[in-house]
Amino acid sequence: MNEAGSEPATGGAEPKLLVFLHTPLKQRAFQGQLQAALPGVAVSAVGRPADFERGLEDHPDAVLTLPMVLAAHHLTATLQGLHRGAAEEAYVLAGVDAAPDPARVATVGVIDVLGREGMSAFVTSLLGAHPKVERVTKVEDLLPLLQLQRVEAILLPARLLEEVAAPSRLSLVPRVLAAKVGLPAVASLGSGGGRVVQGVRRLPPAVTRELGVTEWR
Amino acid sequence: MALSRRRFLLTVPLTGLGAACSSALPRLHGGAPLEIATSKPAGPAKGTILVAMPETVQTREVWTGLRDELARDYDLVAVRVEGREAAADIAAAMARYRPNGVVLMNNPTVAAYRAYQQQSGQERFPPAVVVMTSFFDGHLPQLVTATGISYEIPLITVVTNLRKVISSPVEKVGVVVRPSLRGFVQRQAALAAREQVQVIEQPVSASPNSSEIKWALRRLKHHIDALWILNDDRLLTPRLIVDGWLPGLNERPYCATIVGAAALVSPQQSFGTFAVLPDHTALGVQAAGILFDLADNNWALPAGAPVQLPVSTTTTVDLVQVRERFTLRADGLQHVDRIVE
């Protein structure tokens, strides 16, 4: 089942934007926020790789997702998100009470954007090690992995750590990783892609902040 | 309230609150297993996984999660199993598909599989992953070669979700508990202690009456920040809800109540403030992770493989009740999946 509100848009002349990003907001709220900021664009937000693949089959005019997801699907970015001029952002490995050692951590929780094999390769590329990877499909599910002691550490964009830790009394200690990861980008895929790109360029700061983006190039 | 208590009850499915409701389709009796869904990889399959399930919205969601994860590598077959008496249907499916792994969805399916194992005369079975089965935590229900994911949401997760929505502190959580579930509550309390949550138990008898429920609530409510209502069918009978729970909950002081069934959150009657439920698609993904691990272990179940707790949840909130009685966090509603008002 797709998550709430994630059916690809159909019909009409509105260009379709497929969004595959993870924020601390529920998918319902995130999609609503984007939809309100993009009048004239049919926005469909999904949270799982399989839903993204199904969404692509519906021929969206544009997709908004991470560059590594675009690369995995042989898509090219038309518009790149930046944060203070940089197209990449820092990731952290966070554990309970102590900063994890990337080389020694045995199990790592991560938000799934590439599937089982893709995420294992991604984690290895960031940590330089081969831990067991536990994938989740929502930002909020990272904390239970630590609470339930399913993993030793979680791997996530540094900007999301405060939000993940907020409802918890656990002491989450991050280790900032040297490798950085690309910020969200837009790929134009169809005839309405140009209109979508124009709309994304004009997204209000309150929305782009959720994406970790301050400007677009 | 606009809706009477008895009319409210008519809207609430009161049997099997914690388990998926089975549809009323006719059973098969030992004939060919009825396939309700299949999936094959584009290339050679690494094995076959049999999914035994009734047909419900929730089981379909679990199937979706399983299929999305496993379909690239494995032949997947879902067969309809309806009720505890379906051991013959399972035997037919096991003989036909010879699966490397099995997924069992809900309590009656597990009971039928247990009967199949007992009747088969075999000693070895492929590993089974049990999901959507109530109070599975802490013990395996006498199955051979089985593991799984418990269906109850961990209290630690429930509290974390609540802290995102309401602004008052959630440190002390009360629970009314019958003797048979005290072990479950104590395991949950030990886990929740990691989040500095204190669980205050109010024991009641094995078959409490309405007065005992009201008495238990009055004792608890002065000392707690939230009330956790277990999905215990014996505590949530229609009579106890009408004559015990509702009067007790609607007396001051009010406290936020967390339930495990969306049907118990209704703006017409102040019962559950929040429902925290498993995300069934994510449950399927989590079960697929267990199957991947089993495959990596040559389909052998490691000794002492623990029953997992569900990681992903959905939250429903009664906005009318929250606005009347509690204070929402500024962004609280952005952290709930479903709002009823």
User: Which among A24, A25, A137 has the least Cβ separation from residue B282?
Assistant: A137
CA distance B87 to B94: 10
User: Which among B64, B164, B194 has the least Cβ separation from residue A1?
Assistant: B64
CA distance A178 to B185: 43
pLDDT digit string, tens, across residues B138-159: 556 588 899 999 999 999 999 9
Higher pLDDT, B305 or A20: A20
Q: Do B160 and A147 touch (CB under 8 A)?
A: yes
**B5 interface with A at CB cutoff 8 Å:** no
To probe the interface with B, which of A141, A170, A207 has the most B CB atoms within 10 Å? A141
Q: In what order do the strands lie in the sheet with A215-216?
A: A42-46, A16-20, A62-65, A185-188, A79-82, A215-216
Q: Do B156 and A136 touch (CB under 8 A)?
A: no
Q: Do B312 and A3 touch (CB under 8 A)?
A: no
A54 Cβ partners below 8 Å, 6+ apart?
Answer: A2, A8
Helix (H, G, I), strand (E, B) or coil at B32: coil
Q: Where are the beta strands (DSSP E) in B144-281?
A: 146-148, 172-177, 198-203, 226-228, 256-259, 274-278
Q: Do A134 and B282 touch (CB under 8 A)?
A: no
**A148 interface with B at CB cutoff 8 Å:** yes
pLDDT > 90? residue A7: no
**A170 interface with B at CB cutoff 8 Å:** yes
pLDDT digit string, tens, across residues A26-85: 998 999 999 999 999 999 999 999 999 999 999 999 999 999 999 999 999 999 999 999
What average pLDDT does range A107-133 have in this prediction?
97
Q: A-chain residues within 8 Å CB-CB of B196?
A: 169
pLDDT digit string, tens, across residues A190-204: 999 999 999 999 999
Q: Given its phi and psi angles, is residue B30 left (phi above 0), alpha (psi -120 to 50 degrees) or beta?
A: left
Q: Do A168 and B160 touch (CB under 8 A)?
A: yes
**B198 interface with A at CB cutoff 8 Å:** no
pLDDT digit string, tens, across residues A135-180: 999 999 999 999 999 999 999 999 999 999 999 999 999 999 999 9
Q: B-chain residues within 8 Å CB-CB of A26?
A: 334-337
CA distance A171 to B195: 10
Q: B-chain residues within 8 Å CB-CB of A166?
A: 164
In this prediction, residue B33 carries a pLDDT of 80
Q: A-chain residues within 8 Å CB-CB of B280?
A: 1
Q: Do A144 and B196 touch (CB under 8 A)?
A: no
State whether ipTM is beyond 0.95. no
Q: Where are the beta strands (DSSP E) in chain B?
A: 35-39, 48-53, 75-80, 101-105, 128-131, 146-148, 172-177, 198-203, 226-228, 256-259, 274-278, 313-318, 338-340
User: Which among B160, B191, B333 has the least Cβ separation from residue A167?
Assistant: B160
In this prediction, residue B136 carries a pLDDT of 73
**B282 interface with A at CB cutoff 8 Å:** yes
Q: Do A29 and B311 touch (CB under 8 A)?
A: no
To probe the interface with A, which of B153, B297, B334, B337 has the most A CB atoms within 10 Å? B334
Q: A-chain residues within 8 Å CB-CB of B157?
A: 144, 147-148
In this prediction, residue B18 carries a pLDDT of 38
Nearest CA in chain A to B278: A141
Q: A-chain residues within 8 Å CB-CB of B68?
A: 48-50
User: Which among B64, B164, B280 has the least Cβ separation from residue A167?
Assistant: B164
**A5 interface with B at CB cutoff 8 Å:** no
Q: Do B281 and A169 touch (CB under 8 A)?
A: no
In this prediction, residue B135 carries a pLDDT of 81
Q: B-chain residues within 8 Å CB-CB of A28?
A: 337-338
In this prediction, residue B141 carries a pLDDT of 59
Q: Do B156 and A144 touch (CB under 8 A)?
A: yes
**A143 interface with B at CB cutoff 8 Å:** yes
CA distance B126 to B80: 19
Nearest-Cα distance to chain B for A194, in Å, is 30
In this prediction, residue B220 carries a pLDDT of 96
CA distance A161 to A174: 8
In this prediction, residue B268 carries a pLDDT of 80
CB B290 within 8 A of CB B308: yes
Q: Do A147 and B156 touch (CB under 8 A)?
A: yes
Q: A-chain residues within 8 Å CB-CB of B156?
A: 144, 147-148
B127-B128-B133 Cα angle (round to 5): 160
CA distance B196 to B203: 22
Q: Which residues of chain B, if any, have pLDDT below 50?
A: 1-5, 10, 13-30
